[in-house]
Chain A
Amino acid sequence: MVLNIVIVGVGGQGLLSMAQLIGWASVESGTNVLVAETHGLSQRGGSVIVHVRLGDASSPLIPVGRGNIMLALELLEAARYVNYMRNDGVAVVNKKLIKPNIPGVRVEREENVINTLKGTVKNTYFIDASTKALEEGNPVGANMVILGFLGNMLERAGVLQEGLLGKYAGSIGRGSLAEINSKLYEWGYSLASQQVSNELINSIKSWLLKEVP
């Protein structure tokens, strides 16, 4: 009984905060959780993957091909780690491409990346989270949008207590920043309530019943 969540993106996009908030909300909801983080050298604008495992996991690492949900803050990183995903999984992807900081780097066209992801994972959602975050006044708030999307799914699947993750998200940052974060979370939350079907929520529930992910 394990739910595997793969969080990927570029160092500095707030992936560790996301994982930590999910962890806190899970523990508070009575669910066991393991989060394997990436620190140090790998954080400085490099490629980052964080493994979040809810339930009876004992190993901190998600096996390749066994991820149930991917939260991606950047398109190329989503593509890089997509092989961690089950084909019937869910990928929530920030529609943002950050070119690697290498002179003369060649980067795949955005549509190609999106199509590859669509072709690999059955349920994909592409969200303009960075654009929304910039509009609202927190340039690095895309993580909150994606987190809101997840919050809605996990609450409907009965994994998280209602409202908990949102409260946690809204306590990040000082003063107006916390308000913006809360707003971004709510935006992501409402997107999922419109876009994610009950059928998919039932699938997430059924994954939870399995011995191994």
Chain B
Amino acid sequence: MLDLLKLLKKDEVYKAIVPSFLGYRYMYRFKDLIRIEKGKAFLLGNEAIARGAIEGGIGVASAYPGTPSSEIVEALTTISKDLGIYVEWSINEKVAFEVAFAAAITGVRSLVAMKHVGLNVAADPLMSSAYTGVNEGFVIVSADDPSMWSSQNEQDNRFYGMHAYIPVFEPYGPGEAKELVKYSLEFSSKIKHPVIFRSTTRISHTRGVVDLGPIPKSVKVKGEFGKELRFALVPAVSRKNKLALLERWRKISEEVEHCPFNFLEGDGKHLIIAPGVAYSHVREAIQFLGVKAKILKLSSVYPIPEAMLLKAVSDVDDVVIIEELDPVTELQVRSILHKKNITIRVAGKDLVEYPYELSIERVVEVLSKFYNVPNPLLQTKAGGTKGIEVPARPPTFCPGCPYRPLFFEIRRYINREKLPYIASGDIGCYALSLNEPYKLQDLIIEMGGSIGLANGLSKVTDDMVFSFIGDSTFFHAGMPALANAIYNRSPQVVVILDNQIVAMTGHQPSPSTVMEGKKAIAIEDVVKGLGVEFIRVVDPFEIDDVRRSISEAVKYVREKKMPAVIIARRRCALVILRDLRRRSIMLEPCYIDQEKCIGCGTCYNWFACPAISKVDGSNKAVIDPSLCVGCGSCVIICPVNAIKLPKGTEPRKLKELWR
């Protein structure tokens, strides 16, 4: 082995575990590791969390998918049969919470995972769970999204801990995440109290080296419910529970003093406090600056260990808190120091700005000011270019996406009719129709918000209100809103985009997904059951049907002042492509007959498939064969029939393959 290779090694026994065990396969998946109990594996942060949960002996796990949390329970679904544990994708975060909480109060260890805004949906049972406590370990994973890479806000869910009297733990990287989940389960089990495990995008979606540990041979998957009175939260019970809760909180505050994931390192006259992921940036930042520092690294981010903090500040001149998003640590530090009459300079949010995720650059800048030393890093912002203009590249519908022809046709209908409208949007891939040329998401607020907001919009405006909502989002929070729309007679055209999967987060099942062992629910049955009278099911590739249905729905809504529902059903293109690949089928790309093309731009300006672009120096269109998936959805939209299926492809045959 070469010397340089040694330099990069973390330690001498650094050896991955893979090929010797797995034989023929060079790469491994999460589930290949369940019989491996030591050594190093290369795992996604979310897989590390899942691994920690099974090493920690969970019997139940549940979740509703949401970036950046989805891969946790996705990984667990792949091993649930082998380990004999129960894992489910629930209909929303509240129900997922209730499933896992029910396990924990009957003595079965459990984990529930969701994205940060999902915890808002589950906040009702969350608050109550602190009052009842649990009988076995119960970990609530909240995957927060600083910088809003895939979210509507960047709320800091450490506040939920404060709000609900629930301790919050947070790792600094994937390797620690695995150990900390295990510890959190033990902690919860010991105190008999729920625990929030907070991750962030940079932990959940970072792949790193993780030390594997043993998985318990057998875990408890069946519990017993003792019918204790504390679980029936009527006022008299809750009042009593509150006192028990405060007693548990006292124990929790003591217990975090012994949390091995909080520690002090280094020395010097300046103390840097670094909770969670901040520690990973701070460690490198002080190398860039070449400064000495004492670091208080925290993983119990609420409550923080008071005695440990007091020891850490006892021999320093000043303190700087490097913390992502809100001053949750700072509030606690200042409160403790104030209580103890310690007057020492404390810097925090006055130096580290509130918004967005931390980076080495940000931390170096703050510490260079704090230490009053020069900043060795470039002062340019990420994403800039020297000399030339680089246009933005917003995400868009994939080639073959059923939503493209749907929004294309609805946009064309609205333009032709000059219809005054409001497009009430929702959370899912279809939110991408916000952009040009479709522009059919005037509002995107929260899960289920499309129909919910339309209930109000249709009462206070005279515009035609369209609500666009996906199948999974409809089951998640759209059903109560639609029931409201029926009962309160709120006129709107509801378009349910049923691609029969949760596409945006990586294809988890939705209740409309037909799969073995599940009872799929037909959305038209639900809608009919709620009392909707106008229901149409259309294939979005058949744009003539789409136009007819929309036109009829608009007429119905105008006349009857009641909601009409159109279900646009076609499977996600990525799922179809995956199925085709499994059958070793690769479809040929479509092409444009350059003789016939009149350069009207309908395909590249209005249909806007990434595979179609304008030829440089002319208005004609061309299809990029490396991007086209051969779905054929563009053929019908060309006014002069210049878009052609590949030679030798029968339209009927293609319809059978691409469905």
A residues bordering B, Cβ < 8 Å?
1, 3, 10-12, 19-21, 23-24, 27-47, 54-61, 63-66, 76-77, 79-84, 96, 98-108, 112-113, 116, 119-120, 130, 133-134, 139-140, 142, 157-159, 161, 167-168, 171, 174-177, 205, 208-209, 211-212
**Total residues of chain B contacting the partner, CB 8 A:** 92
* Given A84-B382, A175-B584, residue A116 in contact with residue B387 (CB < 8 A): yes
Cβ of B386 to closest chain A Cβ, rounded Å: 6
Indicate if B534 sits at the interface (CB-CB under 8 A). Answer: no
* Contact partners of B460 in chain A: CB under 8 A: none
Q: Are A64 and B395 in contact (CB under 8 A)?
A: no
Complex CA distance for A83 and B279, rounded to whole angstroms: 25
* Contact partners of A161 in chain B: CB under 8 A: 1, 5
Indicate if B249 sits at the interface (CB-CB under 8 A). Answer: no
Complex CA distance for A28 and B364, rounded to whole angstroms: 32
Indicate if B388 sits at the interface (CB-CB under 8 A). Answer: yes
Closest to B503 in A: A44
Q: Are A59 and B391 in contact (CB under 8 A)?
A: no
* Contact partners of B392 in chain A: CB under 8 A: 47, 100, 102
List the 10 closest pairs (A to B, CB-CB), nearest first: A40-B67, A46-B395, A40-B150, A158-B2, A65-B378, A44-B395, A35-B207, A158-B4, A139-B626, A100-B393
* Interface flags, B574-593, vs A, CB<8A=1, else 0: 00000001101000010000
Q: Are A59 and B208 in contact (CB under 8 A)?
A: no
Q: Residue A1 contacts which of B7, B40, B67, B208 (CB distance < 8 angstroms)?
A: B7
Indicate if B429 sits at the interface (CB-CB under 8 A). Answer: yes
Q: Are A167 and B26 in contact (CB under 8 A)?
A: yes
Complex CA distance for A23 and B44, rounded to whole angstroms: 11
Which of B258-266, B535-543, B600-608 is near enough to bind chain A? B600-608
Q: Are B584 and A174 in contact (CB under 8 A)?
A: yes
* Given A33-B208, A39-B68, A101-B610, residue A79 in contact with residue B385 (CB < 8 A): yes
Cβ of A115 to closest chain B Cβ, rounded Å: 8
Q: Are A37 and B207 in contact (CB under 8 A)?
A: yes
* Contact partners of B378 in chain A: CB under 8 A: 63-65, 83
Which of B133-141, B177-185, B282-290, B548-556 is near enough to bind chain A? B282-290
Q: Are B625 and A32 in contact (CB under 8 A)?
A: no
Q: Are B67 and A36 in contact (CB under 8 A)?
A: no
* Contact partners of B9 in chain A: CB under 8 A: 30-32
Subset of 16 A-B contacts with CB under 8 Å:
A44-B396, A45-B395, A45-B610, A58-B279, A59-B359, A63-B361, A63-B378, A79-B385, A80-B383, A81-B382, A83-B380, A83-B385, A103-B604, A103-B608, A106-B389, A119-B387
Question: What 18 additional pairs, Cβ within 8 angstroms, besides A31-B5, A31-B8, A112-B388?
Answer: A20-B207, A29-B5, A35-B207, A41-B149, A44-B395, A54-B8, A58-B281, A58-B283, A60-B202, A64-B361, A64-B378, A64-B382, A82-B386, A98-B627, A107-B391, A120-B386, A157-B4, A177-B581
Q: Are B383 and A81 in contact (CB under 8 A)?
A: yes
* Contact partners of B626 in chain A: CB under 8 A: 96, 130, 133-134, 139-140, 142
Q: Are A158 and B5 in contact (CB under 8 A)?
A: yes
Q: Are B394 and A46 in contact (CB under 8 A)?
A: yes
* Contact partners of B208 in chain A: CB under 8 A: 33-35, 60
Indicate if B563 sits at the interface (CB-CB under 8 A). Answer: no
* Interface flags, B165-202, vs A, CB<8A=1, else 0: 00000001100000000000000000000000000001
Which of B13-21, B94-102, B228-236, B511-519 is near enough to bind chain A? B13-21
Q: Are B16 and A44 in contact (CB under 8 A)?
A: no
